[in-house]
Amino acid sequence: MLDYSALSALAAVVREGSFERAARALHVTPSAISQRVRLLEERLGCALVVREQPCRPTETGRRLCQHVDRVRLLEQELEGAVPMLSPEGAARVPLPVAVNADSLATWFAPAIAAFAAEAPVLMEIAVDDQDHTAQWLRSGAVLAAVTGAARPAAGCNSLPLGSMRYLAAASPAFMARHFADGVGAGSLARAPSLVFNAKDELQAQWVRRLSHRHVELPRHTLPSSQAFVTATLAGMGWGLHPQALIAPHLKDGSLVELVPKTPLDVPLHWQQARAASALLDGLTRRLVAAARRALLPP
């Protein structure tokens, strides 16, 4: 039989990134977490955690983490179906999901809020670039993800959600100051741009499409979709924004496109662990429906 207290400790270490934070999450001491993981590794005869900063699972550790998450969901469903198992009612169960920040800031948050209001879950949302959220699935840290990758991760299904349309925009004053003579490789190499983080390649992709070559862009880093808009309105730089997020500003003229009719459409997919639970399937149905309303057709 598997030791589920040890498996829970392992899953907490992977999700929290360290033994200390895992201990706080499970309300035990770090030494207790360390002992549980060590005994599990000794029993299985292999390492389960790479002890770095942050900690990450080995391939075997990843599979065990996914198993723990699935078991939690199945136990919750069983408690709901057999009330005698939980006289006080089925407890809410954590449901870890990864998503890109722009989806979270637009169509994703209302969809999961509606789902969480009806389902006995506690949503655990990890935010990363759409080209990197699939890694959260592969690591076992989440059970599902909005990702730019169409090819499913091992043990997962993949569904197309649609494409998010991005527009390169800046304030009129910024345009007059930096692009008075037009938008091209030379002016883009001098004008400050905005990026979400080091993984954000959207601005570089748009520039390559426009100028047909790589341009080294001066960059401000702002890890927030809303801060992106605020900073752009204030004239800090130009950036790629979800069309839905800046539509009111384009309409009132407080933002303008750098080059009209040059959108960048980013396809998004929903990947989820196979045979996880009816709860996860319900979340999938709600999110796919919300994405189909908000995004361009897949």
With both helix axes pointing from N to C terminus, report the angle between 4-16 and 19-26 in degrees, rounded to the nearest 10.
120
Residue 67 φ/ψ, nearest 5 degrees = -60, -45
CA 40 to chain CA centroid, Å, is 30
Amino acid making up residue 109: A
Residues 268 and 149: their CA atoms lie apart, in Å, by 7
Record the tokens describing residue 226, joined without a space. Answer: 């809303």
Domains and CATH numbers, the chain: 1-69 (1.10.10.10), 164-266 (3.40.190.10)
113: buried, middle or exposed (CB in 10 Å: 19+, 13-18, 0-12)?
exposed
- Provide the 10 A C-beta neighbour count for residue 75: 17
pLDDT for the residue numbered 66:
79
pLDDT for the residue numbered 253:
98
Q: How many Å from the N-terminal Cα to the C-terminal Cα in the chain?
A: 44
84: buried, middle or exposed (CB in 10 Å: 19+, 13-18, 0-12)?
exposed
pLDDT tens string, the chain, 298 residues long: the values are 678 889 999 989 988 899 999 999 899 999 999 999 999 999 999 999 999 989 988 989 988 887 887 787 777 776 666 666 555 656 678 888 999 999 999 999 999 999 999 988 889 899 999 998 988 888 777 889 999 999 998 888 999 999 999 999 999 999 999 999 999 999 999 999 999 999 999 999 999 999 999 999 999 999 999 999 999 999 999 999 999 999 999 999 999 999 999 999 999 999 998 866 888 899 999 999 999 999 999 8
pLDDT for the residue numbered 151:
93
Question: Residue with structure tokens 């426009």?
Answer: 210
Residues 212 and 208: their CA atoms lie apart, in Å, by 5
pLDDT for the residue numbered 275:
65
pLDDT for the residue numbered 68:
82
Amino acid making up residue 198: A
pLDDT for the residue numbered 274:
82
Rg over alpha carbons for the chain, rounded to the nearest Å, is: 22
pLDDT for the residue numbered 276:
63
- pTM to 2 decimal places: 0.80
pLDDT for the residue numbered 254:
98
107 DSSP assignment: I
